[in-house]
Structure 1
Amino acid sequence: MGPTRAQFIQYAPAALALASTTVGPWSALIAAAAGAGAWAINASAPALRSLIACGITATGSGIAAHQVLASGMDPLYALGLAVPAGAAALAHHRNTTGELAALPTTPAMAPVGQTSQAQLITAWWAEFISGPTQTEGRKLIQPGANLAHLDLDAGDDHVSFTGIITLPQGQQVRVKAADIASVYQIPVSQVDMGDPKHHAPNALPVTVHLKKPSAAPQIAAGTPTTPEQLWAAHVAIPEGAMPGTTLTLTRYDGPLDWEGIATRDRKAIGTVNIQDLAGNLDLETIQIALAPIDKPSQMGVRVMKEHALMHGTMLSAVVDELAMDARGYIRLGTYIDARPALVPLAQPGSGARHLYLVGGSRSGKSGILEQVLLSAHRSRIGVILASPQAGTIAGASLAAYCGDGLDEAMGALRLAYALMLDREARYRSPAFPFTDPLILAVIDEAHMLLSVSSPYHAEAKAIVEQLTRRSLKRGIGVVLATQTPLAEDLGNSTVIRSQLLIGGGAVFLRCAKGQGSLVGANAVEGAEGIDLSRIPSSWPGQYAKVADRDMSGLATESAAGPEDGTFGLGYLLTPGSQAVQFRSLHLDVPPASLAGGQPPVTVEDCDAWRHQEAITRTPMVDQRGKNLIGSLADLLTAAQQGPTARPQQSAQTHPASPTGPSDGQELIKPRILELLRDESIPMTAETIARKLGTSAKHIKPRLSELKKRDEVTNENGLWRAAA
């Protein structure tokens, strides 16, 4: 097939020049120059038409001049023939004086900032879209669809124009985005046209991006970049750990050693899933520490290559700080930002506080318990210690009563419960401060007493539930330590853990693999995403030293330093806050040597303390784990009957009858409470007596006693359990 129209227009001057070489060198030279010029500047169609006309005129003049000279005529005639050629050249110059350079084929080559750009845009629009045009055989996209109100926006990295496609009244715009893109040789995505539904049919706005600014480079996962960029790309996104936040660095010593503040505009950040945050930043959870600050909309963040708490804090250097302050707090360790880590043991004017401690073997749990015993001793707080695993607590001599071993530990629990009942009997309307000392009931390895496999499961569970619920306002706090946060370690009791967390602080240390998750069924508010099994048993690099037989830093003659293991490293949680990384104080000497040679803090002289030997041997529930002794009088009665007289034996020996044994032998008050709570409907005293198989004369006095203790209510002779 032959050349296209465009090819003919472009190559005609050169072809004409080539053909004219046989008739005249000057005319050939003129035509060749015209074709070469058109080729070089990629001239538009009007310019090519002008050049062709100029080339034809010049060629004809050249042929005529050549013939004149060849025939021997006067050379002046040949010179006169140059006049038409010059006129043609002047006409071509006039035709192309206002002509612009061609629009670049790609937006990136567009001349930026030239005023002629708008004229060139309009020329292309008229040439290919709207007309009028003199190009033969061209089909316009929509004749008459002119581009009005042209506005050009040109910068160093972008070129775009806007306008309105206008047609006479009664016509409709049919120009499409693909048509405009084909004319200006750009992607269709760079053409934005208005919605015809929202504009007149004959006027449609259009925006064309001839050159778009290069998009900001996307942050690829694993590519080294600044912490702010990593934060914006992975943490602050909607599915990130802290959506909508921005990071401001306060210290930067490398990509794995920096500190900053995360801020959310006018919104509280709340709790943060530490595991999600570590995943966003492609780090281990131990390398990240969060530190809540005063503003709810801000959170301190720290990323560590070498852990800030690796070298620990020695206990012997801060003995004076161990005593409880005026607010009831003791120092338990050091936070990741070097601030003292404080936990409450008491709240002046309100009673005691609980402490929940979780940590596996060799995690530093015993060291924290020893430190708590020492702090209690220096704060003049009495301690009842229950240690089912004998000989594990070095500071046991600081306790007023120590149950060392499984049976003795159960006895210590009974004594703590008896002291609570005693104080309830003596302080019906407690007024603080107590004249009696504060007491801590410390339960180490609590799972040995509370788990279902324990022979004391039912009794220990019932006692600990009551202690965690009722003891704080009587000045008795519970310090409970287990090896895992699993519900099984607490006898599958949600009451115990919830009351411990509400009533004080919590310490979470390293646990065995698969047993340290604080999510799912073991969720703890404020500790979302923490997996205690991810805390390593030794610092990074220690494994390599052992594997390579590298003994540097592992001298056998010197005492083990804190950096030789992660003992005491974990998270500290106080009510209403975020769990924060901390490390307990390093105990380099026995706690008894720091006690100053003073004897243990004793418990007040009371009935429960005076009968401690009988009480520690007296079971307080029946074989079903029900009917926990509810008053000191009932407890002392059971204790006087001897350690083998279980409450359920009297019911088996003496069948229930109107003439049965006294209520002290039957322990009728717990049965009354259990009945009223189970039935959940009001009953008369006679109905209660009939259901319990006894007489009303035994029931009515006990109901009156329970009413004085606000455990039951009476409305028009109908009794029900208090809410």
Structure 2
Amino acid sequence: MGPTRAQFIQFAPAALAVASAAVGPWSAVAAAAAGAGAWAINASAPALRSLIACGTTATGCGIAAHQLLASGMDPLFAFGLAVPAGAAALAHHRNTAGELPTLPATTAAAPAGQSSQAQLITAWWAEFISGPTQTEGRKLIQTGAVLAHLALDVGDDRLSFTGVITLPQGQQVRVKAADIAAVYQIPVSHVEMGDPKHYAPNALPVTVHLKKAATAPEIAAGAPTTPEQLWAAHVAVPDGAMPGTTLALTRYDGPLDWEGTASRDRKAIGTVNIGELAGNLNLSTIQIALAPTDKPSQMGVRVMKEHALMHGTMLSSVVDELSMDSRGYVRLGTYIDARPALVPLAQPGSGARHLYLVGGSRSGKSGVLEQILLSAHRSRIAVILSSPQAGTIAGAGLAAFCGDGLDEAMGALRLAYALMLDREARYRSPAFPFTDPLVLTVIDEAHMLLAASSQYHAEAKAIVEQMTRRSLKRGIGVVLATQTPLAEDLGNSSIIRSQLLIGGGAVFLRCARGQGSLVGVNAVEGAEGLDLSQIPPQWPGQYAKVADRDMSGLDTTAVAKPEDGTFGLGYLLTPGSQAVQFRSLYLDVPPASLAGNQQPVQVEDCEAWHHREAITRTRVVDQRGKNLVGSLADLLAKAQQGASALPQQRAQTDPASPAGPADGQELIKPRILELLREESIPMTAETIARKLGTTAKNVKPRLSELKKRDEITNENGLWRAA
């Protein structure tokens, strides 16, 4: 075997130095040949510089030694000239042995005088957090947030750095621990940031543990104590949650903070009951997160002493990520590993996307819907909002059309169906992009329309089934929200659920006890075995505060914090993946306040939109729920027939209309206005009807008409004069 590249670079100059004493001027030729060889094998820049210096020294010594020998002087003098050449060879060896690692080509230039580790830390900070960056398409976390006063703590089993995140005067630090953890690919728990209340807004100290010394647990004799021992004793046993598996740790920061991989020898692990696993390990369900791998025989396991999502991600800090990106995704929250949780609202070139949202009372479902409305508004997507429970969505003003209340919500659903028929008539063969805006049909509390007990059950079920099947390629998506994943909440329709999941994804939040199990007829592919009722309403430790009568949480002046409850904590399921634990963004500001002064995105100017008032009052199925109207022309004809028959029907049924059809329709409106102005207090539709001696069914349409004329207003179902 010949010499290696490293051996050639290190010892070739020494050989030249010795040879130069005898060869004389020919050593220049040898040095040139060595330099060419080093260049050919891609020697590094320090090696080339040392080699050239060594060759030059050897050449000069060789020439002098040759002249001394030729003049007949003592050969010892000639031999002494080899000493400088040897010194050059030793310097070359020292330079090549202490060579620094090369930084990636994409990183920004690091300040001079730093060690190689400090250079890498500074370069990655500039590349991904502060800038300036040369990488096209990369979005910085906060431009100008430089890392000042960098200091390293290096040991055999640890590596950490400290610094101060510094911005120009007048700006505020928005870099979060999760951002830094994502850049340096470390757990969020390895990032320690100062409390902003104790420092200037533009300067915040930070400590990052790139490598943290693991604390070996003390093993007591007899009882299992390490995670591997506990796993073998309680989880891997035949009656455990994952029988026949073994646990291999990948990270250990204490008995309640570790990660590992559970494996079963050549057998699929299958569905894991998270409740049983939590019981085996004596933990709460939200302290455990499972991460399925590509191998059916392996499953990632994470145990958390303090939940990684307990402190939440503020809506105002990531508002720029709410707008739809080039792939059609918007940010809905944060995954358990600190990565952004993205959901598709559209698929560029193919149409819109669906979303299935499940969440009980106080689970954060309304907050997710408000966030979706804001994302649609910022992405210039029109929204048709159907809200059977009046006044529950604070961002309703961002919708192009809002049906607030049970009857009005059904009308909004009819309008969305008519818009789909209109686009089908105008776009026989869909070609994207077309000029019409994308549309989201948001149905909140959908069970109030779809359940068998609803008066609109048959009609709503027929419309939603057709829209989930046919609307995507026409640029109309469906966002459907219910309180439970039970089949009856979707009208016992397997079509609606399957089409929602195929056409977009699902968000599962906490449900009432006994109503959140995703097994049996309620099973969802990718979320097998989940029981949403096992998500507690408070984080671990809050129960103790209640038991101890800790009254600190009753401070009316205190600002609510994300850790005050598990609002928005759940699972996100995207097409073709497994459900992953995540938390929606924490609404630290009202979403509508971030919409700016832009008006709501409007639906295109079309026949369905022109006749929207008549369409919202026209049933699209018969009394038996059959014979769904299948074309826009038939629907408009039916709407016109209903509009012509409406005055006569009102004259016969409205006790407040004795003077005739047209007069009766107009007489009740002045009475409503007069009542609201005289009382000067907000009233519900039922109260207004009782005071006028009529029914709420007769009052509600007039209230909607007066509201459109801006003569009255409605706040959370309470009407008052404008």
- TM-score of the superposition, structure 1-length normalised? 0.56
3-state SS of 2:505 partner:
strand
2:355 is the counterpart of 1:355: yes
Q: CA RMSD in A?
A: 2.5
Distance 1:460 1:526, change over 3 A: same
Paired residue for 2:119?
none
Deviation at 1:411, TM superposition (A): 0.5
Distance 1:223 1:375, change over 3 A: farther
Deviation at 1:579, TM superposition (A): 1.2
Supply the distance in 1 between the matched residues of 2:529 and 2:370 (Cα, whole angstroms). Answer: 29
1:663-678 residue pairs with structure 2 within 5 A? none
2:636 is the counterpart of 1:632: no
Paired residue for 1:585?
585
Supply the distance in 2 between the matched residues of 1:495 and 1:397 (Cα, whole angstroms). Answer: 31
Q: Residue type matched to 2:595 in 1?
A: A
Aligned residues of 1:485 and 1:516 also touching (Cα < 8 A): yes
Distance 1:548 1:242, change over 3 A: closer
Deviation at 1:376, TM superposition (A): 0.7
Paired residue for 1:307?
307
Supply the distance in 2 between the matched residues of 1:230 and 1:548 (Cα, whole angstroms). Answer: 31
Q: Residue type matched to 1:526 in 2?
A: G
Supply the distance in 2 between the matched residues of 1:494 and 1:645 (Cα, whole angstroms). Answer: 37
Paired residue for 2:526?
526
Deviation at 1:603, TM superposition (A): 1.1
Paired residue for 1:465?
465
1:281-292 residue pairs with structure 2 within 5 A? 281-292=281-292
Paired residue for 2:574?
574
Paired residue for 2:496?
496
Q: What does the per-residue CA deviation read over 1:320-356, in whole Å, with 9 as the maximum and x for residues that have no partner?
A: 0111111111111111111111111111222111111
1:599-678 residue pairs with structure 2 within 5 A? 599-643=599-643
Supply the distance in 1 between the matched residues of 2:526 and 2:280 (Cα, whole angstroms). Answer: 19
Distance 1:468 1:336, change over 3 A: same
1:369-380 residue pairs with structure 2 within 5 A? 369-380=369-380
Q: Residue type matched to 1:291 in 2?
A: A
Supply the distance in 2 between the matched residues of 1:597 and 1:524 (Cα, whole angstroms). Answer: 41
Paired residue for 2:454?
454
Supply the distance in 1 between the matched residues of 2:266 and 2:431 (Cα, whole angstroms). Answer: 43
Paired residue for 1:61?
none
Aligned residues of 1:274 and 1:528 also touching (Cα < 8 A): no
Aligned residues of 1:271 and 1:578 also touching (Cα < 8 A): no
3-state SS of 1:641 partner:
helix
Q: Residue type matched to 2:572 in 1?
A: L
Deviation at 1:228, TM superposition (A): 2.2
Of 619-628 and 427-436, more deviation after overlay is shown by 427-436
Aligned residues of 2:284 and 2:540 also touching (Cα < 8 A): no
3-state SS of 1:635 partner:
helix
Aligned residues of 1:515 and 1:533 also touching (Cα < 8 A): yes
3-state SS of 2:551 partner:
coil
Distance 1:351 1:312, change over 3 A: same
Paired residue for 1:563?
563
Paired residue for 2:670?
none
Paired residue for 1:433?
433
Q: Residue type matched to 2:459 in 1?
A: E
3-state SS of 2:508 partner:
strand
3-state SS of 1:334 partner:
strand
Supply the distance in 1 between the matched residues of 2:487 and 2:645 (Cα, whole angstroms). Answer: 32
Distance 1:396 1:259, change over 3 A: same
Supply the distance in 2 between the matched residues of 1:575 and 1:271 (Cα, whole angstroms). Answer: 18
- TM-score of the superposition, structure 2-length normalised? 0.56
Q: Residue type matched to 1:346 in 2?
A: A
3-state SS of 1:504 partner:
coil
3-state SS of 1:557 partner:
coil
Deviation at 1:281, TM superposition (A): 3.3
3-state SS of 1:642 partner:
helix
Distance 1:238 1:432, change over 3 A: farther
1:109-508 residue pairs with structure 2 within 5 A? 223-236=223-236, 241-242=241-242, 245-263=245-263, 272-292=272-292, 298-508=298-508
Q: What does the per-residue CA deviation read over 1:10-65, in whole Å, with 9 as the maximum and x for residues that have no partner?
A: xxxxxxxxxxxxxxxxxxxxxxxxxxxxxxxxxxxxxxxxxxxxxxxxxxxxxxxx
Aligned residues of 1:387 and 1:445 also touching (Cα < 8 A): yes
Q: What does the per-residue CA deviation read over 1:116-139, in whole Å, with 9 as the maximum and x for residues that have no partner?
A: xxxxxxxxxxxxxxxxxxxxxxxx
Distance 1:378 1:268, change over 3 A: farther
3-state SS of 1:518 partner:
coil
Supply the distance in 2 between the matched residues of 1:367 and 1:538 (Cα, whole angstroms). Answer: 17
The runs of 5 or more residues in structure 1 that have no matched partner are 1-218, 650-723
Q: What does the per-residue CA deviation read over 1:300-330, in whole Å, with 9 as the maximum and x for residues that have no partner?
A: 3211222211111110111001111111111
3-state SS of 2:250 partner:
strand
Deviation at 1:276, TM superposition (A): 4.2
Deviation at 1:294, TM superposition (A): 6.1
Aligned residues of 1:619 and 1:643 also touching (Cα < 8 A): no
Deviation at 1:630, TM superposition (A): 0.5
Q: Residue type matched to 2:641 in 1?
A: Q
Aligned residues of 1:537 and 1:565 also touching (Cα < 8 A): yes
Aligned residues of 1:621 and 1:627 also touching (Cα < 8 A): yes
Q: Residue type matched to 1:384 in 2?
A: I
Aligned residues of 1:352 and 1:477 also touching (Cα < 8 A): yes
Q: What does the per-residue CA deviation read over 1:209-260, in whole Å, with 9 as the maximum and x for residues that have no partner?
A: xxxxxxxxxx99x954222233345545676555665433222222222112
Aligned residues of 1:288 and 1:303 also touching (Cα < 8 A): yes
Q: Residue type matched to 2:585 in 1?
A: L
Q: Residue type matched to 1:377 in 2?
A: H
Paired residue for 2:153?
none
Distance 1:414 1:644, change over 3 A: farther
Distance 1:223 1:355, change over 3 A: farther
Q: What does the per-residue CA deviation read over 1:139-188, in whole Å, with 9 as the maximum and x for residues that have no partner?
A: xxxxxxxxxxxxxxxxxxxxxxxxxxxxxxxxxxxxxxxxxxxxxxxxxx
Aligned residues of 1:437 and 1:603 also touching (Cα < 8 A): yes
Distance 1:276 1:540, change over 3 A: closer
Supply the distance in 2 between the matched residues of 1:565 and 1:573 (Cα, whole angstroms). Answer: 22
Aligned residues of 1:309 and 1:583 also touching (Cα < 8 A): yes
Aligned residues of 2:235 and 2:243 also touching (Cα < 8 A): yes
Q: What does the per-residue CA deviation read over 1:420-464, in whole Å, with 9 as the maximum and x for residues that have no partner?
A: 111111112111223211111000011111111211111011101
Deviation at 1:285, TM superposition (A): 2.0
Supply the distance in 1 between the matched residues of 2:594 and 2:625 (Cα, whole angstroms). Answer: 42
Q: Residue type matched to 1:261 in 2?
A: T
Distance 1:448 1:294, change over 3 A: same
3-state SS of 1:309 partner:
coil
Paired residue for 1:706?
none
Distance 1:618 1:349, change over 3 A: same
Q: Residue type matched to 2:438 in 1?
A: L
Aligned residues of 1:353 and 1:477 also touching (Cα < 8 A): yes
3-state SS of 2:538 partner:
coil
Q: Residue type matched to 2:465 in 1?
A: E
Distance 1:294 1:347, change over 3 A: farther
Q: What is the number of equivalent residue pairs in this alignment?
A: 428
Deviation at 1:278, TM superposition (A): 3.0
Aligned residues of 2:224 and 2:233 also touching (Cα < 8 A): no
Distance 1:566 1:629, change over 3 A: same
Q: Residue type matched to 2:317 in 1?
A: A
Deviation at 1:643, TM superposition (A): 4.7
Supply the distance in 1 between the matched residues of 2:578 and 2:273 (Cα, whole angstroms). Answer: 10
Deviation at 1:487, TM superposition (A): 1.3
Paired residue for 1:3?
none
Supply the distance in 2 between the matched residues of 1:532 and 1:245 (Cα, whole angstroms). Answer: 25
3-state SS of 1:563 partner:
helix
Supply the distance in 2 between the matched residues of 1:273 and 1:577 (Cα, whole angstroms). Answer: 18
